[in-house]
A and B are shown apart, each in its own frame.
Chain A
Amino acid sequence: MAAPTANAVTAGTGDPARTGGTRLSARLPRLVLYALLGAFCLYYLLPLYVMVVNSFKPLEEITSGGMMALPGSWTGAPWRTAWSEAQIGVQPTGLRPYFLNSLLMVVPAVTIATLLGALNGYVLTKWRFRGATVLFGLILFGCFIPFQIVLIPMARTLGFIGAAGTVRGLVFVHVVYGISFATLYFRNYYAAFPTELIRAAQIDGAGFFQIFFRILLPSSGPIAVVCVIWLFTNIWNDFLFGASFADYDSQPMTVALNNLVQSSTGVKEYNVHFAGAIMAALPTLLVYIVAGRFFVRGLMSGSVKG
């Protein structure tokens, strides 16, 4: 993981001292440069603009070819419909219950996977045994498998343990496939932690868990944030597992949003779709804006990732 990742970390932190290594600038006029960069900003922002603007418009304004225009008359109705009135399952509940499902799925899954990952990383780096690297490689491969390969047996297993079609079942699935990433993060982080400190503590008689809780865990803040953000984003955005294993009343947000948009009955309420899409995007987007630095770091060190 090392080569690309180590450098990569600084990209997200925006260390001002190191910006601008190479110099194309002298020859390329600054104006052209900024115009290009600005044009690409517009390109990346355009879909977000479309979503936001159209979620506040009455439907007629969209269907009459005004997608790019600002709302003529602003309305909050699409948001209300998407949140609490739209027909998605059997009842016209809006997206609210599914948003809740996603939260109930994400929080325990992230917590458990992160804790397990921290313990694994600790063992794999500070209690090294023969074959630890091979084992780590085998765990890591779990980050890359196309999940299609596990869908059939997992569906059987969830049925067998009585968790088919439940949020609990989804939590379980996400923990299982989240461990690989969590282990990757903590293992690489703890690998750089001075082993002498551990040895010293051992000589002083500290046990396995004492060392972990007193010495390693208190200094694991940054990587824990990276790991939590990464898992949160991945699990919140998951669609395949939700679509495969959830029932009507346990569907996560992404699946419900897709059902809302794909449903072929009645008039297509584009403004409601856009409002719903923003709701599904908001949690991860907020995390990105608040803690973007850590998000990028996770992306990079997991960029041997998924």
Chain B
Amino acid sequence: MDRSRSARDTMRDLLPRLVLSPTVALIAIFVYGFIAFTTYLSFTDSRMLPSYDLVGAGNYTRLFGLRTWDIALTNLAIFGTLYIAICCALGLGLAILLDQKIRAEGVIRTIYLYPMALSFIVTGVAWKWILDPGIGIEAVVQGWGWESFAFDWIKDRDMAIYTIVIAAVWQTSGFVMAMFLAGLRGIDGEMLKAAQIDGASTFALYRRIVIPQLRPASLSSFVVLAHMAIKSYDLVVALTNGGPGTATEVPATFMYSYTFTRNQMGIGAASAVVMLMTVAAIVVPYLYSELREKS
């Protein structure tokens, strides 16, 4: 009797852990184990296949000496900065406009947000042809009679990276709008009323009271956008495929081509590690503060 009872108690204690264990095992192997494996490979002379001969930090030295990697990082900096800045500005602006007791707000919100449901490949295909000088905006405007109109950024080495910003902003800005709108709806109305009675101007109201209270929404938006920018791969592939030449190469496309088509797995692994570190530098402090607050 006693024994069977204690067995049942043990079972009851064990069962929850048992249920959780497949997930723990999967995450341990396929997230952390794989991170360790790729990190290890980044210190080896792996080419087409993984090799286990360590060569020190040679891959990192070579990586940062590569012109393509340099271009990829510069592009990420340009793209990331503009993408985050424009998405936030547009998102905040639209959220404030939508927060003015608008009729048909639901419909408008649905329209602003639907691109978020699409695949980046679909977005890329649509914008690729819209921006194409042969059939897109340039051809259309010329057809309307403005013969000298030119808009060929997508074919222009110096401007192509900005076309990626255009398409990416189109896809994600509605999402940022939704984040800020949610933040606006959470603001205490009494406080605003009080400030209005005190004679604060609309501008001051927004600058002093509303926008500071949107900090949590801004922070989440920033983290999401930043890590999306670093991971962005599909959109670049679909829109420009890294071209013209290597003009729109980003770390994600660099990693893929060095690893799988150029047979430089060691360098590819090193670039993946750099990407992970960058994401971790943004995400880990954020997760830490969020989870600590909660528990």
Which A residues form the contact surface with B (CB < 8 A)?
1-4, 7-12, 14, 18-25, 27-28, 33-34, 36-37, 40-41, 43-48, 50-51, 54, 62-68, 116, 119-120, 122-124, 127, 129, 133, 135-142, 144-154, 156-157, 176-177, 179-180, 183, 207-208, 233, 236-237, 239-240, 243-244, 254, 257-258, 261-262, 270, 273-274, 276-277, 280-281, 284-285, 287-289, 292, 295-296, 299-300, 303-306
How far does the Cβ of B53 sit from chain A's closest Cβ, in whole Å?
16
- Interchain CB contact (< 8 A) of A67 among B27, B139, B221, B241: B139
Task: Please provide the 6 A-B residue pairs with the shortest distance between their CB atoms, ordered closest to farther.
Answer: A20-B101, A65-B143, A11-B182, A237-B119, A7-B186, A127-B16
> Chain B 198-242 against A: per-residue CB contact (8 Å), 1 yes, 0 no?
000010011000100000110111011001101101100110010
B216 touches A4 (CB 8 A): yes
Contact, CB under 8 Å: B120 / A239: yes
Instruction: Report the minimum CB–CB distance from B190 to chain A (whole Å).
Output: 11
Q: Which residue of A has the minimal Cβ distance to B113?
A: A296
Interface centre among B116, B129, B230 (most CB of A within 10 A): B129
B-to-A contact residues, CB < 8 Å: 12, 15-17, 19-20, 22-24, 26-27, 30-35, 37-38, 41, 50, 94, 96-102, 105-106, 108-130, 134-136, 139-140, 142-143, 170, 174-175, 178-179, 181-187, 189, 192, 196, 202, 205-206, 210, 216-217, 219-221, 223-224, 227-228, 230-231, 233-234, 237-238, 241, 251-252, 255-256, 259-260, 265, 268-269, 271-273, 275-276, 279-280, 283-284, 286-288, 290-291, 293-295
Interface centre among B106, B126, B130, B276 (most CB of A within 10 A): B126
Further pairs besides A24-B100, A258-B237: 6, Cβ < 8 Å? A4-B183, A41-B108, A141-B283, A151-B255, A237-B120, A239-B233
Asked if B241 and A12 make an inter-chain contact with CB atoms under 8 angstroms apart, the answer reads no
CB-CB under 8 A from B294, the residues of chain A are: 1-2, 133
Does the CB pair A47–B130 fall under 8 Å? Answer: yes
The number of residue pairs between A and B whose CB atoms lie closer than 8 Å in the complex comes to 332
Once the chains are docked, how many angstroms separate the CA of A287 from the CA of B12? 40
Q: Which of B23, B130, B174 contacts A139 (CB 8 A)?
A: B23
Can you list 16 A-B contacts (CB < 8 A)?
A: A8-B178, A24-B100, A25-B101, A44-B114, A65-B140, A67-B140, A144-B283, A149-B276, A151-B272, A153-B38, A233-B117, A244-B260, A254-B119, A277-B121, A300-B178, A304-B290
Which residue of the partner chain, among A20, A28, A141, A274, contacts B129 with CB atoms under 8 Å?
A274
Bound Cα distance from A154 to B34, whole angstroms: 8
B20 engages A239 (CB within 8 Å): no
Task: With both chains docked as a complex, state the minimum distance between the C-beta of A46 and any C-beta of chain B, in angstroms.
Answer: 8
Asked if A261 and B118 sit within 8 Å, CB to CB, the answer is: no
Given A4-B183, A149-B273; A179-B102 close (CB under 8 Å)? no
Are the C-beta atoms of A67 and B130 separated by less than 8 Å?
yes
Contact call A33/B97, Cβ cutoff below 8 A? yes
Q: A44 touching B227 by the CB < 8 A rule? A: no
User: How many whole Å from B94's CB to the nearest CB in chain A?
Assistant: 6
**Alpha-carbon separation in the docked complex, A22 to B191 (Å):** 10
Residue of A1, A33, A116, A149 touching B272 (CB-CB under 8 A): A149
Q: Which residue of B lies closest to A156 (CB)?
A: B50
From residue B255, how far is it (CB to closest CB) to chain A in Å? 5
B288 touches A152 (CB 8 A): no
On chain B, the residues within 8 Å of A20 by CB distance are 99-102
The reply to whether A150 and B283 form a contact with Cβ atoms under 8 Å apart is no
- Cβ–Cβ < 8 Å partners of B94 in chain A: 37, 40
Known: A21-B189, A65-B140, A292-B110. A47 touches B135 (CB 8 A): no
| Measured CA separation A196–B142 after assembly (Å) | 70
- Residue in B185, B268, B273, B291 whose CB lies within 8 Å of A10: B185
Which of B19, B259, B291 lies in contact with A151, CB distance below 8 A?
A: B259
Other-chain residue from B121, B143, B210, B241 in contact with A280 (beta carbon distance below 8 A):
B121
Whether B119 and A33, one on each chain, are in contact in the complex, defined by CB atoms closer than 8 angstroms, is no
Q: State the Cβ distance, B230 to closest chain A Cβ, in Å.
A: 6
Known: A144-B227, A257-B122, A304-B223. A8 touches B117 (CB 8 A): no
Give A256's nearest chain B residue, CB to CB.
B121
Whole-angstrom CA separation of A239 from B252 in the bound complex: 12
Bound CA–CA A123/B17 (angstroms): 8
